[in-house]
Chain A
Amino acid sequence: KAGVTQTPRYLIKTRGQQVTLSCSPISGHRSVSWYQQTPGQGLQFLFEYFSETQRNKGNFPGRFSGRQFSNSRSEMNVSTLELGDSALYLCASSRGGMTTNEKLFFGSGTQLSVL
C-alpha cells in the first residue's frame, strides 16, 4: 500500500512569490492535514480537509490556504511569500480525520526555502 506522497521534495522561491504544494494521501483516507515544521517553532498545525471541505484551521494568516479534490488529494498554497515561511511542510492522512483520534500517516514533506 503506497504511503503519503508529497511533491515537490524541495522548493526555492523568492519573497513575494506564491507556491503550491501537493499531497496525495493513502488510498481510502479522506482526511488530509497540513503542518509547518521549523527549528524554532516546532510542529504547528495549519488546517485539515475532509471530503473536500476544510474542517479545522490553525492560527496562520490568510496567505496560507488549501483545497482538497474529489480523489482526496490536497494542495496547499502560500501567497506573497515571506522569509519566515521557510520551513518543512508536512501533510498527513487518516481515514476518519483528527476528531477520531486515529493515527496520522505523514509524508516526507516539502522543504521550502524563501530567499
Chain B
Amino acid sequence: GDSVTQMEGPVTLSEEAFLTINCTYTATGYPSLFWYVQYPGEGLQLLLKATKADDKGSNKGFEATYRKETTSFHLEKGSVQVSDSAVYFCALTEPTGNQFYFGTGTSLTVIP
C-alpha cells in the first residue's frame, strides 16, 4: 500500500542554517505530494504541494521537488528562522485514491 517515510527528528538548527527534511514515498500510481506544517498549539497548514513529476512546490522560502526517479519530495530552506520552529509533515494522495497518507512528522527547532 501507499506510505510516506520521513526522516526522524527532532532536528535542531541555528538561525540562518540550511534545512533539509527528507521524505520518500511508496505509491501505486502517480500521487500528489504535500508538505504540511504544524506550529505549536495549532492545526496543520498546507506549506506547499506538487502534483506531477519534476514539479517544484515553494512557499515562504521553502521548496520541494517531486522526484519520481527517487520517489522523494525533500523539503529545503536556505536560511531558517526561529519562527520556522514547528513540526513538518510530508503527505501524499493518489489521484483516484480515497485518503491522505501522512508521514510521522519531523520536529524542527531553530535556535537564535
Which of B68-76, B77-85, B95-103 lines the interface with chain A? B95-103
Tell me how far the C-beta of A88 lies from the nearest C-beta in chain B, rounded to whole angstroms: 9
Closest to B91 in A: A43
**Contact yes or no, A48 B98, CB < 8 A:** yes
**Contact yes or no, A56 B98, CB < 8 A:** yes
**Contact yes or no, A108 B95, CB < 8 A:** no
**Contact yes or no, A55 B43, CB < 8 A:** no
Alpha-carbon distance A35/B41, docked complex (angstroms): 16
**Contact yes or no, B93 A101, CB < 8 A:** yes
Q: Mark A78-115, 1 if CB is under 8 A from B, else 0.
A: 00000000000010100000110101111111000000
- Residue A45 at the B interface, CB < 8 A? yes
Alpha-carbon distance A55/B99, docked complex (angstroms): 10
Alpha-carbon distance A43/B6, docked complex (angstroms): 12
Which interface residue of A35, A92, A98, A101 has the most chain B CB atoms within 10 A?
A: A101
Closest to B92 in A: A101
B-side interface size class: 20 to 34
Residues of A within 8 A of B95 (CB): 99, 101
Given A101-B93, A101-B95, check contact A92 B104 (CB 8 Å): no
Tell me how far the C-beta of A34 lies from the nearest C-beta in chain B, rounded to whole angstroms: 11
**Contact yes or no, A106 B99, CB < 8 A:** no
- A residues 1-46 touching B (CB-CB < 8 Å): 4, 6, 33, 35, 41-45
A-side interface size class: 20 to 34
Given A101-B93, A101-B95, A103-B49, check contact A45 B100 (CB 8 Å): yes
Tell me how far the C-beta of B69 lies from the nearest C-beta in chain A, rounded to whole angstroms: 21
Tell me how far the C-beta of A77 lies from the nearest C-beta in chain B, rounded to whole angstroms: 20
20 further interface pairs, Cβ-Cβ under 8 Å (given A44-B102, A98-B99, A101-B93): A42-B89, A42-B103, A43-B44, A43-B89, A43-B102, A43-B104, A45-B100, A48-B99, A55-B98, A56-B99, A92-B44, A98-B97, A98-B100, A99-B95, A99-B96, A101-B32, A101-B95, A104-B44, A106-B43, A109-B43
**Contact yes or no, B98 A108, CB < 8 A:** no
Q: List 17 A-B contacts (CB under 8 A).
A: A6-B43, A33-B99, A41-B104, A42-B89, A42-B102, A43-B105, A45-B99, A55-B98, A56-B99, A58-B99, A99-B93, A99-B97, A101-B51, A101-B95, A103-B34, A103-B49, A109-B43
